[in-house]
Amino acid sequence: DVKVTQSSRYLVKRTGEKVFLECVQDMDHENMFWYRQDPGLGLRLIYFSYDVKMKEKGDIPEGYSVSREKKERFSLILESASTNQTSMYLCASSLLGGRATYNEQFFGPGTRLTVL
């Protein structure tokens, strides 16, 4: 079974703190993704990575950065946390695939981050 794990289920931080969210997958997937999920807004893509050290901005990258030094690990960084970054953060991974195929995204359990 594909397993995507996230470092914390619940996290409480203060405004201005630097926050690291870690995600690890064990299926040798090329693609990894960070989403945030908010009531009424659904899932929104923050960043994704299709290879080690490669990254692309998603729909809402402002206030976030990412790091992918190893294939299995993808980190989301909040340089200076703000209250509007309080949310559920979901990591996902998938095979690279080709244009003729779709590859399922497997999600982790999520990290509920509260910024006070």
Does 50 contact other proteins by CB under 8 A?
A: yes
Which residues are within 8 A (CB) of 62 and not within 5 positions of it... i.e. 6 or more apart?
none
Does 76 contact other proteins by CB under 8 A?
A: no
Q: Which span sits near other proteins by CB under 8 A: 13-21, 64-72, 75-83, 88-96?
A: 88-96
Does 8 contact other proteins by CB under 8 A?
A: no
Q: Which span sits near other proteins by CB under 8 A: 13-21, 60-68, 70-78, 100-108?
A: 100-108
96 CA to centre of own chain: 17
Which residues are within 8 A (CB) of 94 and not within 5 positions of it... i.e. 6 or more apart?
29, 30, 31, 33, 103, 104, 105, 106
The neighbour count for residue 18, using CB atoms within 10 Å, is 10
Q: Which residues of the chain form contacts with other proteins (CB under 8 A)?
A: 4, 31, 40-43, 45, 48, 50, 58, 90, 92, 94, 96-97, 99, 101-110
